[in-house]
Amino acid sequence: MFLTFDGLSRGAVYAAFALALVLIWRATRIVNFAQGAMAVATAYAGFEVSAATGSYWLGFAVAIAAGLILGAVTERVVMRFVDHSSPLNGVVVALGLVLVIQGGLGMIFGSEFRPAEAPFSRDAFTVGGVALLSRFDLFVFAAVGIVVVLLALLFTRTHTGLRMRAAAFAPDVSRLLGVNVSGMLTLGWALAAAVGSLAGMLVLPTELGLHPNAMDIVFVSSFTAAVVGGLDSAIGSVLGGLIVGLLLSYVSGYLGATVAPIAVLILLVVVLLGRPGGLFSRSAARTV
Amino acid sequence: MTALLRTESLTAGYGAAPVLHEVDLDVNTGSITAVLGANGAGKTTLLRTLSGLLPATHGRVLLDGKDLRGVRVEEMVRRGVAHVPEGRGVVTELTVDENLRLGGLWRKDRADVRKAMTEVYELFEPLARRRKFPGHQLSGGERQLLALGRALVGRPRLLLLDEPSLGLAPKITAQIMTLLGTLRDRSGLTVLLVEQNVRGALAIADEAVVLALGRVVTRGTDIDDEMRHAYLGF
């Protein structure tokens, strides 16, 4: 029971992070391998502000805002100029960005682990002697839930959401209809990076703490979650995140934590071999 | 009549080799001009250059007498130019309703956008029955209607239509041609119509321009038999 709640809590974080990957993939056909490093960078900014001001929430807000800015800057300054003739180009540039960000963080903050503070107790409530979930887990569920709902509303109910979807699917047609496609791309990157930052702020206190490479392992799990869900499906990425979280939790609980990363990789391989389009993707949605 | 749209020695193309050579064109306000020619004559390239999707390498495009150089593609719709590209104009991932809304997103007059959408649904009955369907579930003909309807939601002054009859049943093609004539007569809509369906286009066009290998070879209100044989194949 505890493993289930623990898995769902981790899964919620992977879901958010996977969702951020899917947002960028859908808009640009780039898997943003730099997302982990970007999230760590904004988390450093957030925790620095928290340490300086003593207010966790101010730091939290700074981290999310830094995510928005970093995402927009990354798109405007770097990703915009990636040549799309080969899908590998975006990957290579993103990986380069990882090295730059992680190297930069190491130079500024050092590469030792720092503790990352949690805003709520991580002690689990117990019901009838069985540990269930902590206040922090509840916070994670609430934060991810709110973000998922807000994004869903943005994309389905607002003009901007419609513009963003159109710009991603058919850039030329959208421009002919007066949509500022390049602005929508920047907005998409900003939102995705902010969601990534949120995931970072939610996962760093539970995992290893703050470190330039801290999100690498989270990235692997979340990327798996996104692939499991089908890279094109936002709902799929959320479900994929929960599946990966549960898998990790059960495997760590019953077989040991060292086996868990292997289980994730096995899941990734199995999905790629069995259903490369993801478990929740509709087949051949785009026919022209 | 005054020219709403004018090109002066317009030259454009992909890469080093131009597709269009020195095209001079006058499209009068409230007229329908048919652009005819064989495949590869440069008809689609002409429309793409007019709407700014493809930059001109030489010459210029004037709208209301103003040079359009440096005007961004997304600005064109605000100047009253609607370009309905060939075949692929519908965003297939979005529903019929979302595609139509997209056509009016740039407009401030929300009430008129709703009114225009209602009009389009009345004009194109098949679309009204499929409002919530994603574009990829529509037939080719329905997609053409949707792309045209979406342009009309923007209440354009100048409509650039690329092969609207492509994949449509003759009856629906005739309907569209009649509709274009009605819009011209009632609201002064100006149309530049690229068509393979030469008879249908000539039936409503006030003027025709024939392109061959990127050059204007003839123009006028009446295409004579020799020209028809030479360039249009009938």
Which residue is closest to B98 within chain A, CA to CA?
A: A162
Same domain, B113 and B211: no
Q: Is B51 on the interface with A (CB under 8 A)?
A: yes
Quick one: B147 and B169 in the same domain?
Answer: no
Q: Do A177 and B93 touch (CB under 8 A)?
A: no
Are B51 and B83 contacting, i.e. CB atoms less than 8 angstroms apart?
Answer: yes
Residues B151 and B135 in one domain: yes
Contact A170 B91 (CB under 8 A): yes
B126 and B218 part of one domain: no
Both tokens of B218, joined, read 């003839």
Asked whether residue B18 falls in the same domain as residue B68, the answer is: yes
Pick from B50, B73, B75, B150 the residue to mutate for testing the A interface (most A CBs within 10 Å): B73
Query: Which residues of chain B lie closer than 8 angstroms to A172, CB-CB?
Result: 53, 85
Q: In this complex, is the C-beta atom of B139 within 8 Å of any C-beta atom belonging to chain A?
A: no
Single-letter amino acid code for the residue at B11: T
Interface residue of A25, A159, A177 to substitute, partner B, most B CBs within 10 Å: A177
Q: For residue B22, which amino acid is it?
A: E
The whole-angstrom distance between residue A251's C-alpha and the CA centroid of its chain comes to 22
CA A284 to chain centre: 26
**Among A173, A181, A281, the residue to mutate for chain B (most B Cβ within 10 A):** A173
- Chain-centroid distance of CA B113 in Å reads 20
Res A284: pLDDT: 44
Of A174, A176, A288, the CB nearest to B92: A288
Write out pLDDT tens, residues A249-287: 999 888 888 888 888 899 999 988 888 777 776 554 443
pLDDT band at residue A186, thresholds of 50, 70 and 90? very high
* Dist CA A95 CA A102 (whole Å): 11
Backbone angles phi, psi at A24, to 5 degrees: -75, -40
Mutation site for B-interface testing, chosen from A175, A176, A286 by largest number of B Cβ within 10 Å: A176
Kindly give the interhelix angle for A135-157 and A159-169, rounded to the nearest 10 degrees. Answer: 80
Please name the member of B53, B88, B98 whose beta carbon is closest to the beta carbon of A162.
Answer: B98
Confidence category of residue A53, pLDDT binned at 50, 70, 90: very high
Question: Quick check: B18 pLDDT over 80?
Answer: yes
Confidence grade of residue B173 (pLDDT, cut at 50, 70, 90): confident
Per DSSP, the three-state class of B215 is strand
- Domain end, chosen from B128, B155, B182, is at B155
Characterize B97-112 residue by residue with b for buried, 16 or more Cβ atoms within 10 angstroms of its Cβ, and e for exposed: ebbbbbbbbbbeeeee
In the prediction, which pLDDT does B233 show? Answer: 63
Asked if residue B72 is part of any domain, the answer here is yes
- Please tell me the total number of residues recorded for chain A in this structure: 288
More confident call, B223 vs B151 = B151
Contact predicate B146/B172, CB 8 Å: no
B93 near A CB under 8 A: yes
- Mean pLDDT across B81-99: 89
Q: What is the pLDDT of residue B32?
A: 94
Q: Based on the domain organization, do B55 and B96 belong to the same domain?
A: no
A75 and A93 Cβ atoms separated by less than 8 Å: no
- Residue B41 DSSP symbol: S
Domain that holds residue B18: 3-80+157-232
Q: Indicate the residue of A162, A169, A172 with minimum beta-carbon distance to B105.
A: A162
In this prediction, residue B224 has a pLDDT band, given cuts at 50, 70 and 90, of: low
Tell me what percent of the residues of chain B surpass a pLDDT of 70.
Answer: 93
Q: B85 in a domain, yes or no? A: no
User: Are A169 and B53 a contacting pair at CB < 8 A?
Assistant: no
In sequence order, what DSSP letters do the residues of A64-99 get, joined into one string? HHHHHHHHHHIIIIIGGG--TTSHHHHHHHHHHHHH
- Shortest CA gap B225–chain A (Å): 37
User: Letter for the amino acid at A271?
Assistant: V
pLDDT of A286 reads 43
What is the per-residue pLDDT for A288?
Answer: 37
Q: What is the DSSP string of B163-177?
A: -TTTT--HHHHHHHH
Query: Which long-range contacts link A98-106 to residues 24+ away (Cβ below 8 Å)?
Result: A98/A33, A98/A34, A98/A36, A98/A37, A101/A34, A101/A37, A101/A38, A101/A40, A101/A41, A101/A212, A102/A37, A102/A40, A102/A212, A102/A213, A103/A212, A104/A41, A105/A37, A105/A40, A105/A41, A105/A44, A105/A212, A106/A212
DSSP state of A287: -
We report the CATH number of the domain holding residue B10 as 3.40.50.300
How far apart are alpha carbons A136 and A120 in whole angstroms? 5
Boundaries of every domain in chain A:
2-215
Please check whether residue B86 lies inside any domain of the structure.
Answer: no
User: Do B7 and B76 share a structural domain?
Assistant: yes
Closest CA of chain B from A163, distance in Å: 7
For strand B32-36 and strand B207-212, is the pairing parallel, antiparallel, or unpaired?
parallel
Using a CB-CB cut-off of 8 Å, the residues of chain A touching B90 are 173
B140 touching A (Cβ < 8 Å):
no
Give, rounded to a whole angstrom, the gap between the first and last alpha carbons of chain A.
Answer: 48
11-50 of B, contacting A, C-beta below 8 A: none
Kindly indicate the confidence band of residue A17, based on its pLDDT and cuts at 50, 70 and 90.
very high
Q: How many domains does chain B have?
A: 2
Is B167 in the A-facing interface, judged by CB distances under 8 Å?
A: no
Residue B84: other Cβ atoms inside 10 A: 26
What is the reported pLDDT for B231?
A: 61
Domain end, chosen from B155, B184, B204, is at B155
Interface of A with B (CB under 8 A): 159, 162-163, 165-166, 169-170, 172-181, 285-288
Distance from CA of A145 to the nearest CA of B (A): 25
Check CB contact of B129 with chain A, cutoff 8 Å: no
B226 falls in which pLDDT band (50, 70, 90)? Answer: low
| Mean pLDDT within B120-139 | 92
Among chain A residues, the shortest Cα distance to B152 is held by: A177
ipTM, 2 decimals?
0.89
